[in-house]
Chain A
């Protein structure tokens, strides 16, 4: 048995995970002579002969297809520059939003500096320049509420299998919650106590993501924290962004 660790062990950079060529180096590991060595602090995940790691820390790196929450920091000739909670920023071109923007129009009519948007990444260059779009259902400006930042590596846990964890938090706290892959989370609730409960719950998942029995603990935690929220009505989602007035206008916009 030359596998020196087991599933879900916490390992650290430089730690030897396996000592034979029978095993293959998966994500965040590498081979040195016969050994497989960890390159990150992470949880061991063994799939057949591949030994890979699920990192527990690390800043967000943009990936095509990721749905993220961004903040507008500047307005250019062609669109909006946004902060995506990464070393890299993302550009939202005015042709990539649901509304039709005429040439030379004042872009702040649509989105202004300081606004939070839910967007999708459709292009990442070799230099990590990022293009984002809002031309898909479910992508819109986030009005009101509050924004918190969590460890992007914990996002899958906060969302849960098939969204189960985040659904439970939304149900119990009666809040609208939007979790971006980039670790930005938007929360809007019917009252500050509800939002506070949602924030506490999300931070708890973040803290304990790597430990066993989290789902049971979260159920108990939420039951206790939300006991006093009974009288509140669930927050309703805002209206989807207005579709273009006419198809013709929309076509014109695309051709320009």
Chain B
């Protein structure tokens, strides 16, 4: 079988519509809203702030902590029980690892930068939307960042390499599927998140990574615009 047209009619490398805004949560030091297709993510940054408990403190540098969580009504099917799961713990960790390489926290010894991410509705690509929102929020909070981090889920559906899989494509049953979330740094094109779920050959994977690099360029432009828009508005 051959995947002729994408389920929602998009071109193979076409992303779903994206909306991004910075500074949406007043209490936070930095915050963002990031929507891609039907996946919506909020991120708030608090920090640098005092880190408790004390034994976690690092006297040489500040630390980053990320928390990814789905709101109970954000799942495609049943209610998502609050309190996190093994999945959300793992996702929190890979998000943290995706952001750490660009942050400069040496000026904040013993302190912590907390990033909280909540999804209000999901349709695949949630960890990538979370990273995009978190990156905007960190910049908004004034945490020194050497580069912008952008993430997208690329993959293979049947015989086609595609960008930005939605839930139906992830769940495609008429052929092999590979779901590959990738985070890319804007200037160096280095990769800070890479996971793969499914089956794919090495060559196809390398092609998918090239698609990811192009896709994340478009996302970075939108992230930049969201930050600049906050300061361009005349009140």
A positions within 8 Å CB-CB of B: 10, 12-16, 28, 30, 32, 35, 37, 39-41, 55-59, 61, 87-89, 126-128, 153, 207-208, 210-211
Question: 11 A-B residue contacts at CB 8 Å?
Answer: A12-B224, A14-B185, A15-B224, A40-B139, A57-B140, A59-B48, A87-B111, A88-B111, A127-B59, A127-B109, A128-B109
Given contacts A10-B228, A40-B139, 12 further A-B contacts (CB under 8 A): A12-B148, A14-B186, A37-B187, A39-B146, A41-B142, A57-B29, A57-B140, A58-B142, A59-B142, A88-B111, A127-B59, A128-B110
Residues of chain A lying within 8 A (CB to CB) of residue B102? 13-14
Which B166-203 residues sit within 8 Å CB-CB of chain A? Answer: 185-188
Asked if A61 and B107 sit within 8 Å, CB to CB, the answer is yes
User: Of A15, A37, A58, which is within 8 A of B143 by CB?
Assistant: A58
For chain A, what secondary structure do more than half of its interface residues adopt (helix, strand, loop), or is it mixed?
loop
Is A13 a contact partner of B111 (Cβ separation < 8 A)? no
Q: Does B144 contact A (CB under 8 A)?
A: yes
Could you give, for residues 123-164 of chain B, a 1 whenever the CB lies within 8 Å of some chain A CB and a 0 otherwise? Answer: 000000000000000011111111110000000000000000
B144 CB contacts on chain A under 8 angstroms? 13, 28, 39-40
Beta-carbon contact of A211 and B143 below 8 Å: no
Residues in B182-235 with C-beta less than 8 Å from chain A: 185-188, 220, 223-224, 227-228, 231-232, 234-235
Shortest Cβ distance from residue B95 to the other chain A in the assembled complex, whole angstroms: 17
Closest residue to B229 on the A side, CB-wise?
A10
Q: How far is the CA of A35 from the CA of B104 in the complex (A)?
A: 19
CB-based contact A57/B47 at 8 Å:
no
**Docked pose: A81 CA to B3 CA in angstroms:** 66
Give chain B interface residues in 24-61, CB to chain A under 8 Å: 29-30, 47-50, 59
CA distance A16 to B148 in the complex (A): 11
Distance, CA A61 to CA B104, complexed state (A): 14
Is B73 in contact with chain A by the CB < 8 A criterion? Answer: no
On whether the beta carbons of A14 and B146 are closer than 8 Å, the reply is: yes
A58 and B228 alpha carbons, distance in the complex (Å):
16
Question: Is the CB–CB distance between A12 and B142 below 8 Å?
Answer: no
Which residues of chain B come closer than 8 Å to A12, judged between CB atoms?
A: 139, 148, 223-224, 227-228
Interface membership of chain B positions 52-88, coded 1 if the CB is closer than 8 angstroms to chain A and 0 otherwise: 0000000100100000000000000000000000000
Task: Determine how close the nearest CB of chain B comes to the CB of A128; give it in whole angstroms.
Answer: 6
Contacts of A88 in B (CB 8 A): 50, 111
With A127-B109, A127-B110 given, is the CB distance from A40 to B142 under 8 Å? yes
Q: Cβ of B235: which chain A residues have Cβ within 8 Å of it?
A: 207-208
Check if B187 sits within 8 Å of A16, measured CB to CB: yes
From B49, B139, B227, give the contact of A87 (CB < 8 A).
B49
**Residues of B contacting A57 with CB < 8 Å?**
29-30, 140-142
Q: Are B140 and A59 in contact (CB under 8 A)?
A: no
| Chain A residues with CB below 8 A from B142, complex form | 40-41, 55-59, 153
Q: Which residues in B have their C-beta under 8 angstroms from that of A35?
A: 187
CB pair A37 B147 closer than 8 Å = yes
Which of chain A's residues has its CB closest to B150's CB? Answer: A14
Closest to A35 in B: B187
Separation in Å of the B62 CB from the closest CB of chain A? 8
Nearest Cβ in chain A — how far from B115, in angstroms?
Answer: 14
Closest to B48 in A: A87
CA distance A130 to B148 in the complex (A): 33
A210 to B30, CA, bound (A): 17
Q: Nearest CB to that of A153 among chain B residues?
A: B142
Which of A13, A55, A126, A208 gathers the greatest number of chain B CB atoms within 10 Å? A13
Instruction: Give A192 Cβ to nearest chain B Cβ, in Å.
Output: 23
Do A14 and B145 touch (CB < 8 A)?
yes
Point out the residues of chain A lying under 8 angstroms from B185, CB to CB: 14
